[in-house]
Amino acid sequence: MNTQKISMSKFGKYLLEVSIVVIGVAITLCVGYWISMRSVKKDVALSLNAIKIELEQNANAFDNYAKGLKKINSILQLLTVA
């Protein structure tokens, strides 16, 4: 019986050590995932900001182009009337 208790005691210690390692690995994976998601969110925010800036620049360029076309159109109308 003593050998059975000793063997159960060893098994309990082994199970405890394995459980601690598994919990440590799980915590490490969770922290790694959390850090990765923070990085992804930061990259997405930077990309969205770059897209916003580019859209604003394109809108300004389009407005300038439209104003130029209006000027050309009014000049052409003056020339055709004369």
pLDDT digits (tens, 9 = 90+) for 5-63: 667 788 888 899 999 999 999 999 999 999 999 999 999 999 999 999 999 999 999 99
Q: Is 1 helix (H, G, I), strand (E, B) or coil?
A: coil
- 76 pLDDT higher than 80: yes
* pLDDT on residue 78: 85
Q: How far is CA 42 from CA 17, 24, 46, in A?
A: 38, 27, 6
Q: What is the pTM of this model?
A: 0.58
